Amino acid sequence: MKIIFLSWFREILRRPTLTILSIVGVALGIATVVAVDIANESAKRSFLAANETISGSTTHRFTGRITDELYRHLRVDLGLDVTPVVEGLIESDRSNTTQLRLYGVDLLAEISASSNYAWREVSIESAATLLSNPFTVLATRDTANSLGWSVGQEIPVSSADGDFKLTLIGLLEPANPLQAQSLRFVLLTDIATAQSVLGKQGYLSVIHALFDDSVQINSIEAFLPDGVYIESQIGQSDSQAALTRAFQINLTALGLLAFMVAMFLIYNTTSFTITRRQRHIGMIRALGALQRDIVLCALLEVLIIGAIATIIGILVGIQLSTFLLELVEQSIATLYFPIFADITVLSFVTIVKAIMLGIGATILLALPAIRKISSTAPSIAIGRSQVETQSTDSGSKLFVIGCSLAVLGTLVLLGNQHSIVLGFFGIFLVVIGYLQLIPLMTEGLKRLLRPIVKRIFGVQGVLAIRAFSSRPGQTSTTIAVLCLALSATVGVDIMVSSFRQTVDEWLISRLRGDIYITTPSQSDSGLASVDVELLENLEGIASFGLAKWAEIPDASGTTTVFAVDYGENAFNGFQFKKKADVDLWREFNAGAAIVSEPYAYRNSIQIGDTVDLFIGRKSVQFPIIGVFFDYSSDQGIVAIHRDTYIRHFNDRTISSAAIFAKPETDLQTIADTIEQRVLTPRARVWRNQELHDASMQIFDQTFAITYVLRTLAIIVAFVAVLSALATLQIERERELVVLRTIGFTVRQNWSIASFETGVMGLLAGIFSLPAGILMAWLLIWVIEQRSFGWTMKMQLDPLILIGAVTLSVVAALIAGAIVTWRKVRKVPAMALQGMD
């Protein structure tokens, strides 16, 4: 037994290239999965931690329009375990990119609480000091350093409410690195300072609560004033969690994609690693080695490859994840809120996944090959007539399998409306089903090509084509792997580009104003009335409209209401998915509402239904006359006329203004004039194009991670193809050497090899197009619409399709070239001798 193992593993050392390729391939697959997993998990953890570090692990929270008095009532009259928060964003000249989060708390309340509030360990002296010294803040050392701020120093900041000076009186000492990250760009202060700086006197942002079972939530809800809500923290049902969910879906999706490609890669490499030993196995079988011995050796080899690859994969994955996390952080910061932690959390589950994939899946995927190889007949006359004896599955059988898988996948897709993972599973089943057809299609194309190739390239061409008929199974698998990876990238590319295009068109259609003025969303006061007067008197302006973004209570939480009066022209910018058969503009003016597509999707709303919003205790119904396309929020928005809004809610504040210039006026001049003269703090003036570009930039940042993962999938596929071709070429080594001996030049051998790989790449590229389009369609249909309620028009960018085919051919050619390089250059005699 010993010597069998010895011979088996010395064989690896004799030809390490393939084994190294296998390890690299498997490791890359694992690294991708690990990286995505870490990024995902870290994003989730740090999001939770970011909330928890400053609020503690509480059970409930109150949101909405919370007055100081409500808090007093809860804490003093009812004796509930609650703590207040006033928070908001401020800007400092010292931080040019990131906003600071001013976080006002009542440390005394936190200290008094029995447990689980974030600041319960703070000393009473520190709490008292912060309380007694207005406009003082605390920050972590990292934050202070990055702002160039030292203790005792005063820095100017600005908020929606004006300019202030804050003094750093001490440092926050996070208990662990996680907290340190969560507290980045957080300025902790007393609630009085926070109210004052943020202009929120009399109001709180959030009340955190720690309720035990004795607290009757119903009875609390009963007396809550209108516009205040209580949410359970345990279900993570708040909207911020929903926002990160969107991210996780995309990340998980791409992770699964990488996983999928990795598995095919593993299958490919393990089966090649094993099948290339056929000759060796024949020999030792003839000498009396049992099937069992062979299986053991093969298993051990796969196990070792898997184990090494797993270790490397995890290590590389960790590295990779930091990179991914930076991208995630960027998107989160852009979209959601300015702090985000880039901690890498290598969880137990991630390691289990990696091991499952690296060792479990590797062995499982190697089993078919091992089974086949173990039944390899011992052979005496090795090297004489070793032909592929096992018949490959017939085309019709594969066709049946493929179709059944596709049907099964479709059933999974139709049967489950909510699970993203199942959605992906369904998509993969369909795509795998499609891959079944590859041998059939390869065979068909080969027949089609053969006469042409023979005419054009002569015997050399036929020799290259021959590879497909002599090893149909192997060739098809190689093509399938490449095809899968390509279709994944084509799918993601088409999805993202369709999305981008849709958003672009939507922005162009919606942004009808020439110039916009926007105010920060945290600002309650909005655009100052002097600025409205400015617009009224400014030259070059044909008209302008005002709008208000408001969070209005509804039956289950709050609804984002866009109260707009930009005029009829701008109203025509709404593109309707469904609309009532009425004069929309007139009805809209008369008090009807239109809702965005995600809003309709989330609330299962039809034309003719109503939106119920609360004004004080009573609710008001707004009839819905249209569902419009909108990509600004995955939570959905309701648009009503600003006059309607003012009539019901008596709120004349303004969030933004759209300005329509007179024809042939210089927009830049008007914009500059407004910018110079506008008095509202932190109001921003945008020209149409700027607003459009800024929105698209956010879009691109959001999908940056998608592009990276797509590139990774291509790299994995490339390695897969490299190893597959390497094996194919090693098997053809003898043939090439023979060709050399009978007079083929190095160049001719080169062209044969390149032709062969090139054709494989071409086939994979062509086959990937329908699969990629199919995948894009499913992604758009299953993932985007299902999770976000967004309709996208699928755009088939020919560049993507051509790019995929080109990429495939080039990748195959490069892989082929790398592999063939040494082989064809060998002096024939030497090569023949080395051949045992």
Residues 32-71 that bind another protein (CB under 8 A): 41, 44-45, 48-49, 52-53, 56-57, 68-69, 71
Sign of CA dihedral 606, 608, 609, 614: positive
| Part of the chain binding another protein (CB under 8 A), chosen from 22-30, 326-334, 471-479, 614-622 | 471-479
| Residue with smaller CB distance to another protein, 269 or 558 | 269
- Contact flag: residue 407 with another protein (CB under 8 A): no
Q: Where do we find the tokens 């906003």?
A: 99
Please answer whether residues 243 and 341 qualify as being in contact, where contact means their C-beta atoms are separated by less than 8 angstroms: no
| Residue with smaller CB distance to another protein, 173 or 643 | 173
From the CB of 46, what's the least distance to another protein, in Å?
10
| Residue with smaller CB distance to another protein, 315 or 364 | 364
Task: List, as one string, the DSSP characters of 22-35.
Answer: HHHHHHHHHHHHHH
- Contact flag: residue 808 with another protein (CB under 8 A): no
Please give the structure tokens belonging to residue 162: 């004006």
Nearest to 482 by CA among 436, 435, 440: 435
For the stretch 476-507, what's the b/e string if a residue is b when 16 or more beta carbons lie within 10 angstroms of its beta carbon? Answer: bbbbbbbbbbbbbbbbbbbbbbbbbebbeebb
DSSP at 526: B
In sequence order, what are the residues at sequence separation of 6 or more whose Cβ sits closer than 8 angstroms to the Cβ of residue 32? 255, 258, 259, 262, 317, 320, 709, 712, 713, 716
| Residue with smaller CB distance to another protein, 181 or 695 | 181
Among 472, 513, 526, 626, binds another protein (CB under 8 A): 472
| Residue with smaller CB distance to another protein, 116 or 673 | 116
| Residue with smaller CB distance to another protein, 264 or 755 | 264
| Part of the chain binding another protein (CB under 8 A), chosen from 277-285, 443-451, 711-719, 745-753 | 277-285
Among 59, 65, 108, 295, binds another protein (CB under 8 A): 108
Nearest to 721 by CA among 688, 757, 748: 757
Task: List, as one string, the DSSP characters of 607-676.
Answer: TT-EEEEEETTEEEEEEEEEEE---S-SS-EEEEEHHHHHHHH----BSEEEEEEPTT--HHHHHHHHHH
Q: Annotate 286-304 with three-state secondary structure.
A: HCCCCHHHHHHHHHHHHHH
- Contact flag: residue 778 with another protein (CB under 8 A): no
In sequence order, the β-bridge partners of residue 628 are 576, 596
Please give the structure tokens belonging to residue 537: 């008197």
Among 227, 473, 567, 623, binds another protein (CB under 8 A): 473
Query: Among residue numbers 660 through 719, which ones bind another protein (CB under 8 A)?
Result: none
- Contact flag: residue 7 with another protein (CB under 8 A): yes
- Contact flag: residue 533 with another protein (CB under 8 A): no
Q: Where do we find the tokens 């042409």?
A: 452
From the CB of 263, what's the least distance to another protein, in Å?
5
Query: Among residue numbers 279 through 338, which ones bind another protein (CB under 8 A)?
Result: 280, 283-291, 293
User: Binders of another protein: how many residues, by CB under 8 A?
Assistant: 154
| Residue with smaller CB distance to another protein, 428 or 574 | 428
Query: Among residue numbers 135 through 164, which ones bind another protein (CB under 8 A)?
Result: 135-136, 138, 151-152
Q: Report the distance separating Cα 243 and Cα 251, nearest Å.
A: 13
β-pairing, 186-190 vs 100-105, is parallel
Q: Where do we find the tokens 């069992």?
A: 292
Please give the structure tokens belonging to residue 180: 């340190």
Query: Among residue numbers 422 through 451, which ones bind another protein (CB under 8 A)?
Result: 422, 424-425, 428-429, 432, 435-436, 438-439
| Residue with smaller CB distance to another protein, 401 or 667 | 401
Query: Among residue numbers 362 through 381, which ones bind another protein (CB under 8 A)?
Result: 364-365, 367-369, 371, 377-381
- Contact flag: residue 734 with another protein (CB under 8 A): no
From the CB of 496, what's the least distance to another protein, in Å?
23
β-pairing, 100-105 vs 203-204, is unpaired
- Contact flag: residue 221 with another protein (CB under 8 A): no
| Residue with smaller CB distance to another protein, 274 or 670 | 274
687: left (phi over 0), alpha (psi -120 to 50) or beta: beta
Among 59, 146, 158, 167, binds another protein (CB under 8 A): 167
From the CB of 800, what's the least distance to another protein, in Å?
26
Among 419, 529, 697, 711, binds another protein (CB under 8 A): 419
Q: Where do we find the tokens 């990629």?
A: 772
β-pairing, 228-232 vs 656-661, is unpaired
Site string for another protein, 170-199 (x = CB under 8 A): xxxxxxx-xx---x----x-xxxx-xx---
Give the other-Cβ count within 10 Å of 202's Cβ.
9
| Part of the chain binding another protein (CB under 8 A), chosen from 168-176, 327-335, 676-684, 783-791 | 168-176
